[in-house]
């Protein structure tokens, strides 16, 4: 249960090992420990079923963000954004350096451990009157899931804001990454504009947004 995942492990083994915490409590695992033969397929199916009921799924319920921002969030939740650490691993680029600072560009860093992107998310949160100091990706996903459990307007606006923010930051990063810094200062204002624009169509959200705009 404690061993580091070896680089040369097969993909199926890696998938199982990545879900160890869940497996630990899993009946299939307990059953397997007592069985005379370990069956990899059975174990994989147990992991797979669990992965299907992912906790971040709730972020998509009643989320009124733009479809392209939702797709981007889905990719991010699956940790599939083409960040430099991933591109480097596949041999596509030479550097893993973040385009805003000296750290390695991982998704964990970019959303929102990087001072540049942290500042943007923070400004958006301040606009919706939420005092929160952003941390890395996994922490932020956990935090946003916790914060958006209810069905009220605040939860809906937070979900919308998070989705639009992840999308615009990713676009901003892509632009800077190819040497175009033009989008710079506008990013947080653009996100807020999109929150208002998308939220305005919903009567319940309109009331909340109107208060924030005063």
Residues lying near Zn ion in the complex (CB under 5 A) are found at 98, 100-101, 103, 114
Residue owning tokens 């990013």: 187
Length, in residues, of the chain: 214
* Shortest Å, Cβ 78 to Zn ion: 22
Closest to Zn ion by CB, 70 or 103 = 103
- Helices within the chain (DSSP H only): 11-18, 20-24, 27-34, 40-52, 67-77, 84-89, 107-108, 115-127, 137-147, 153-177, 186-199, 203-213
Task: Identify the burial level of 34 via C-beta atoms within 10 angstroms of its C-beta, where 0-12 means exposed, 13-18 middle and 19 or more buried.
Answer: exposed
Q: Which is nearer to Zn ion, 79 or 104 (CB)?
A: 104
* Residue 101 CB, nearest approach to Zn ion (Å): 3
- Class of residue 97 by CB neighbours under 10 A (exposed 0-12, middle 13-18, buried 19+): middle
Terminus-to-terminus CA distance in the chain, angstroms?
Answer: 53
Task: Report the residue number, 46 or 111, with the smaller CB distance to Zn ion.
Answer: 111
Measured from the CB atom, the residue of 114 and 144 that comes closer to Zn ion is: 114
Beta bridge partners of 104: 97
3-class secondary-structure state, position 185: coil
Which residue, among 131, 120, 136, 140, has the nearest Cα to 191 in the 3D structure?
120
- Please state, in angstroms and rounded to a whole number, the distance separating the CA atoms of residues 162 and 59: 9
Cβ proximity to Zn ion: between 64 and 98 the closer is 98
Nearest residue (CB) to Zn ion, 100 versus 162:
100
CB of 84 to Zn ion, least distance (A): 10
- Shortest approach of Zn ion to residue 122 CB, angstroms? 15
């Amino acid at each position: 249960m404690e061993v580091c995942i070896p680089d040369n492990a097969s993909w199926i083994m890696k998938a199982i090992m990545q879900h160890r915490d869940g497996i630990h409590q899993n009946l299939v695992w307990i059953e397997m420990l007592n069985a005379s033969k370990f069956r990899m397929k059975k174990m994989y199916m147990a992991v797979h079923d669990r992965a299907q009921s992912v906790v971040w799924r709730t972020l998509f319920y009643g989320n009124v963000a733009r479809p392209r921002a939702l797709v981007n969030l889905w990719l991010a939740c699956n940790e599939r954004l083409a960040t430099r650490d991933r591109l480097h691993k596949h041999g596509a680029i030479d550097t893993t350096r973040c385009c805003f600072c000296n750290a390695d560009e991982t998704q964990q860093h970019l959303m929102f451990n990087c001072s540049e992107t942290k500042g943007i998310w923070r400004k958006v949160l301040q606009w919706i009157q939420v005092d929160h100091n952003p941390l890395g990706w996994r922490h932020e996903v956990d935090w946003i899931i916790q914060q958006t459990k209810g069905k009220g307007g605040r939860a809906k606006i937070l979900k919308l804001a998070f989705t639009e923010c992840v999308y615009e930051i990713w676009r901003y990063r892509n632009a800077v990454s190819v040497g175009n810094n033009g989008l710079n200062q506008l990013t947080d204002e653009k996100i807020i504009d999109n929150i208002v624009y998308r939220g305005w169509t919903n009567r319940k959200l309109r009331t909340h947004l109107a208060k924030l705009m005063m």
